[in-house]
Amino acid sequence: MLYVILGHDAPGTLDKRLASRPAHLARLQALQDQGRLKLAGPCPAIDSIDPGPAGFSGSLIVAEFPSLADAQAWADADPYKDAGVYASVEVKPFRQVFPA
């Protein structure tokens, strides 16, 4: 089943985000290599592809996991969470309708 992982950044953590990004991307690459990653990316804090020093408000990941518990465990081990980038993380089941 698919799950949405929505990480909400803590204020003032852009430097931590940038430092942790390679490890974060490596985990996403592993999901992609396994054919389980459907969508992933950051949410700019302002209406711009490159928000510069404004940074990001969080991240969105849609990926396939065997269960909600597995998705939660994967999210709990994210380098952004370990580094204090995420103030909170939501994990929810997701049913894709479009595109079919």
pLDDT digits (tens, 9 = 90+) for 42-93: 999 999 999 999 999 999 999 999 999 999 999 999 999 999 999 999 999 9
The set of residues, in sequence order, having a beta carbon less than 8 Å from that of 13 and lying 6+ positions away, is 55, 83, 84, 85
Query: Is the residue at 74 inside a domain?
Result: yes
Q: In what order do the strands lie in the sheet with 37-44?
A: 37-44, 56-64, 2-9, 86-94
Query: Is the residue at 6 inside a domain?
Result: yes
Query: Is the residue at 58 inside a domain?
Result: no
- pLDDT attached to residue 100: 85
Query: Is the residue at 22 inside a domain?
Result: yes
What total of structural domains would you count in the chain? 1
Query: Is the residue at 54 inside a domain?
Result: no
* Residue 8 lies in domain: 1-45+69-86
Query: Is the residue at 96 inside a domain?
Result: no
CATH (domain of 80) = 3.30.70.1060
Query: Is the residue at 13 inside a domain?
Result: yes
Containing 89, the helix (H) or strand (E) segment is strand 86-94
- pLDDT attached to residue 34: 98
Query: Is the residue at 31 inside a domain?
Result: yes
Containing 68, the helix (H) or strand (E) segment is helix 68-76
pTM > 0.75? yes
